[in-house]
Amino acid sequence: MTKTAQPFARLVKDAIRAAPYSGITKIKPMKKLLFNHSLCLIAFACSALASCSPAPQAPPKEVQIKADDKMKFDVTAFEAKPGQKISITLTNIGNTPKFSMGHNCVVLDRNVNVQNFLDAASTNAAHDYVPPDAKGVLAHTKLLGPGESDTITFNAPFIPGDYPFFCSFPGHYSQGTKGVMTVK
């Protein structure tokens, strides 16, 4: 024990010895009370945190898009918060057979060249016009025939900006089956 620690230790010893005759014993119930109080505070803090945090169980933002025989999407723009869960349901409301008028919905990362993607997609009928090795595909539906629909769920990127979504069936993009998801 160091020289400075000795007087301190003696003080503590004296205090303990004097405890039964002083108010120190009263510390015990007080401590218990404090302890219970802190438990309450912790419980409160936990419940507060749970309600404030961006809950992963939060329902996704639902976007309903219809595509028709005129090669148009009825929704061409929607907004998303960074990281927000998005659920896109595409419905083909046309009557023309799938092989000549199929529709899908591809969501691309904002830095992907759309034309390059479409060029590669045009020769990929076997994969619903979504090249399996294409980079920057955030999500895509199946290729849909008349009356069919498909839902994709994904998280919006965290980087704000404009993200293109479109049908990659050859020729449809230029006709109007396209839109922009704005993350902000």
Stretch that binds Cu ion, among 15-23, 35-43, 81-89, 161-169 (CB under 5 A): 161-169
Query: Which strands form 85-92's sheet, in the order they lie side by side?
Result: 61-67, 85-92, 149-155
* The one among 91, 92, 141, 177 contacting Cu ion by CB under 5 A: 177
Q: How far is the CB of 124 from Cu ion (least distance, A)?
A: 14
Those residues with Cβ within 8 angstroms of residue 121's Cβ, 6 or more apart along the chain or in another chain: 106, 129, 130, 131, 134, 168, 170
Please count the residues of this chain forming the interface with Cu ion, following the rule CB under 5 A. 5
Contact 153, 105 (CB under 8 A): no
Q: How far is the CB of 168 from Cu ion (least distance, A)?
A: 8
Q: How far is the CB of 169 from Cu ion (least distance, A)?
A: 4
Pick 85 or 178: Cβ nearer Cu ion = 178
Q: How far is the CB of 138 from Cu ion (least distance, A)?
A: 18
Q: How far is the CB of 128 from Cu ion (least distance, A)?
A: 11
**Distance of alpha carbon 141 from the chain centroid:** 18
Q: Is 178 in the site for Cu ion (CB under 5 A)?
A: no
Those residues with Cβ within 8 angstroms of residue 135's Cβ, 6 or more apart along the chain or in another chain: 109, 112
164 sits in which H/E element = strand 161-166
Residue 82 to residue 121: CA distance in whole angstroms: 28
Pick 91 or 177: Cβ nearer Cu ion = 177
Q: Is 141 in the site for Cu ion (CB under 5 A)?
A: no
Q: Is 85 in the site for Cu ion (CB under 5 A)?
A: no
**Residue 14, both tokens:** 């004296």
Q: Is 173 in the site for Cu ion (CB under 5 A)?
A: no
Per CB under 5 A, which of residues 89..118 are in contact with Cu ion? 103
Instruction: Give the three-state DSSP class for 181.
Output: strand
Those residues with Cβ within 8 angstroms of residue 51's Cβ, 6 or more apart along the chain or in another chain: none
Enumerate binding residues for Cu ion (CB under 5 A).
Answer: 103, 167, 169, 172, 177
